[in-house]
Amino acid sequence: MHLLLTALTCVAIVTDSLSYKESGAAIEAYRQSIEQGGKQTVLMLDRWGHPDSLRAQLYDLYLNHNLEGAILIGNVPIAMIRDAQHLTSAFKMDQTSDWKESSVASDRFYDDFDLRFDYIKADEDKPGYHYYTLRADSPHAISCDIYSSRIVVPDISGADRFALLTAYLEKVVRLRAQNEVIDQVLLFAGNGYNSDSMRARMDEAWALRQQFAGLGTLPGFRFDFINYDFDEVIRPRFMAAMSDPDLDVAILHHHGSEDAQHLGASKVNGIQSAFDYLKSFLRGRLRRSKDSTATKAEYIAEYGITDSWFKGAFDPEITRQDSAYSASMDLSVEDMAGYTPQAKFVMFDACYNGSFYYHDYIGGRYLFQEGNTVVARGNTVNSLQDIWPDEMIGLLQGGVCVGNWAKMNMTLELHLLGDATFAFANTSGAPCLDKDIRLQAANPVFWRQQLASTTGDYKSLAMRMLYRNSAIFSTELLAIQQSDSSPLVRLEAFTLNKKIADANLKPAVLNALHDDYELLQRMGALTVNLLGDEDLLEPVMAIYFDPTTTVRVNFHLREVFEQVPYASFEAAAMAYRAKSPLWPTEENFQALLKSLQYSRDSRDQNLAVIAKPDATDKELRWVIPAQRNKQNAQMADVLLTFLRDTSRKTEQRVTTAETLGWYMFSFRKADIVAACRDI
């Protein structure tokens, strides 16, 4: 351990022996740069090859040496977590599938010491993968004690991985010495993200200007925005903007995979482009069809088109052109040659972009390209769109390192890549709280004092730390949500009240539904659906039928209508329609009724399947686990009956109990808990 008189917190640098042998000088220089920033370091060569041993070492450092974070460089064992999908934002997969795909690669194993796991086995094909099950007696919420980050070089054809690692660490050391200031931020919105809601984009830009002081108000400060539909092919503009040497932070919302950012979509702009798009679509359908003759006949009969619309479907040159055009909608690892991303911190708000356990992954490519990107945040599996990725991000302008900021809001799949100790200069005008996040973590008196801050993200941090110390309660949080002038503070208060989930959640939801900040209203809409309370039907309907309500908010409010009996919904909808004949249009209103009738019929079919004494495993596998997503209150009684039925297979009852466990916000929660305790 290297000790500095001014250093009060500690960072562990963990690496494998081969990485240290080949890039040891660069690792030592990186270590020294952290110490020059006022933090102790501990170098740990992983000689165990097992996550349990490393976790024990990190926990000891946490208890005895004020460990604040761990940087995992190279071939460090990967914990593949099972039976914990409720700790992800969206990932739900049948765990009988391939374990590599149905487990979640997660460093919460290393940075949340309260979580409890049982070891299962190492993977036969990939011995660096270690499978764990989350224990039933573990906490079932994530609250990271430290931060962690991965520095894993992707497999790039023709490149020396250790030369890339050395070059990356040298880049980090150089940029750390420059004391970078956040004065240029880029926000990108990709195709289909948050239902392409422009109000969501507008409000995020508005909030970011509050979080990063100076954006849009001071000379020399820039806030830039790119929407995917600025161009037919957005990739060139996107890459050019990301290559601006002055760019500091890039917040990227889009869909993704482990090896690509899905940025754009085919754009129809005029009659000719509409024809071109439809012909390309039909050619693609024909190529994918098992019976191209039958498929062509079906389209001709249904749409009255001619054979000429399919011309060239199997022509090699036209196939190549179609494929190239489709690929141009994405930025993939194959497109990285010559690309020099400059944002020091990149947020990949997308599925799978942070999949460091794949042999090649787009998040890693950003780090190891030439350019100035040194730290990123991304997901190892799919992720939910309706989250708050920018929560407290203004702390970065206050000198808080990326790791200490990010650990406040982690899911099982969310990870930092690169140098999590990287910090921008403190230009906030307020004291830097970077060390206090670790050293004052258990001091509610200190955080109660910070609650007086007039800066939204500082006040939000104080609320979060008070919550972690059980020193702020739902009544106070509700009062803050109802009265604070900052939308960021109001959203943080609501977020924490949702974690507490007591009797004050319902009024908090109603308040959120009427908030002018789109993201807070959207979070309220998402949560009111999970409550499933019929008492909320009328206020929900008033907001749903308001012509100014955004498309993404209504996406969630539409699901609330499925939580109540169709007759109750229809009566309320018809009464509202009588008072408001202008909106929605009659066509849209009838379409809504029809879709809810379909949902009712589908639900009734599912209820009948569950009630069948001879329902097969296959039937039940489709019907019961689906409620992990839906959490439909009308399904609760039949699920509880099934759970109590001792004539059912034990495995089926266990699946039912697990599914009911997802009803954590439902007004039926007390009934579910009582039933589980009785069996």
Q: Is residue 516 part of a domain?
A: no
The predicted model gives 546-567 an average pLDDT of: 94
Report yes or no: 489 and 464 within 8 Å, Cβ to Cβ.
no
Report yes or no: 422 and 175 within 8 Å, Cβ to Cβ.
yes
The predicted model gives 345-369 an average pLDDT of: 97
**pLDDT at 4 exceeding the cut of 80:** no
Report yes or no: 106 and 413 within 8 Å, Cβ to Cβ.
yes
Q: Which residue has the tokens 């979060």?
A: 464
**pLDDT at 2 exceeding the cut of 50:** no
The candidate with the shortest Cα–Cα distance to 441, out of 117, 140, 63, is 63
**pLDDT at 1 exceeding the cut of 60:** no
pLDDT digits over 182-197, tens only? Answer: 999 999 999 999 989 9
The strand ranges marked E within 139-248 are 147-151, 184-189, 222-227
Find out whether the peptide bond into 341 is cis, omega within 30 degrees of 0: no
Take residue 377 and report the two structure tokens written for it.
């945040």
Domain span at 140? 10-151
Q: Which residues contact 460 (CB under 8 A, 6 or more apart)?
A: 391, 392, 488, 489, 492
The predicted model gives 155-178 an average pLDDT of: 97
The predicted model gives 405-425 an average pLDDT of: 97
The predicted model gives 283-301 an average pLDDT of: 93
Q: Which of 151, 178, 211 is the endpoint of a domain? A: 151
Q: Confidence band (pLDDT; 50, 70, 90) for 593?
A: very high
The predicted model gives 478-487 an average pLDDT of: 97
pLDDT of the residue at 270: 84
**Considering the chain, what percentage of its residues have pLDDT values greater than 70?**
99
pLDDT of the residue at 246: 97
pLDDT of the residue at 3: 40
Helix (H) or strand (E) holding 601: helix 586-611
Q: Is residue 296 part of a domain?
A: yes
**pLDDT at 332 exceeding the cut of 90:** yes
pLDDT digits over 16-29, tens only? Answer: 999 999 999 999 99
Structurally, how many domains does the chain consist of? 2
Q: Confidence band (pLDDT; 50, 70, 90) for 273?
A: confident
The predicted model gives 512-526 an average pLDDT of: 97
CA distances (Å), origin 218, targets 65, 183, 214, 223: 42, 9, 5, 11
Helix (H) or strand (E) holding 542: helix 537-544
Q: Which of 99, 121, 151 is the endpoint of a domain? A: 151
Calpha distance 86→242 (Å, rounded): 35
Interstrand relation of 10-15 and 67-73 (parallel, antiparallel or unpaired): parallel
Calpha distance 437→432 (Å, rounded): 10
End-to-end Cα distance, the chain = 52
Calpha distance 493→478 (Å, rounded): 7
pLDDT digits over 621-664, tens only? Answer: 889 999 998 999 999 999 999 999 999 999 999 999 999 999 99
Q: Is residue 104 part of a domain?
A: yes
Query: In what side-by-side order are the strands of the sheet with 260-262?
Result: 255-257, 260-262, 330-332
**pLDDT at 274 exceeding the cut of 90:** no
CATH number, domain at 68?
3.40.50
Helix (H) or strand (E) holding 367: helix 362-368
The predicted model gives 382-406 an average pLDDT of: 96
pLDDT of the residue at 49: 93
Q: Is residue 87 part of a domain?
A: yes
Q: Confidence band (pLDDT; 50, 70, 90) for 608?
A: very high
How far is Cα of residue 334 from the mean position of the Cα atoms in its chain? Answer: 25
pLDDT of the residue at 580: 86
Q: Which of 305, 328, 351 is the endpoint of a domain? A: 328
**pLDDT at 434 exceeding the cut of 50:** yes
Q: Is residue 147 part of a domain?
A: yes
Calpha distance 500→634 (Å, rounded): 24
The candidate with the shortest Cα–Cα distance to 435, out of 181, 150, 67, is 67
Q: Is residue 114 part of a domain?
A: yes
* Residues 16 and 146 both lie in one domain: yes
pLDDT of the residue at 7: 45
pLDDT of the residue at 267: 79
pLDDT of the residue at 268: 80
As a whole number of angstroms, the longest Cα–Cα distance in the chain is 81
Q: Confidence band (pLDDT; 50, 70, 90) for 392?
A: very high
**pLDDT at 42 exceeding the cut of 50:** yes
The predicted model gives 370-374 an average pLDDT of: 97
Query: In what side-by-side order are the strands of the sheet with 129-134?
Result: 104-105, 78-82, 129-134, 117-122
pLDDT of the residue at 217: 82
Q: Is residue 345 part of a domain?
A: no
Name the average pLDDT for the chain. 95
Q: Is residue 606 part of a domain?
A: no
The predicted model gives 47-73 an average pLDDT of: 96
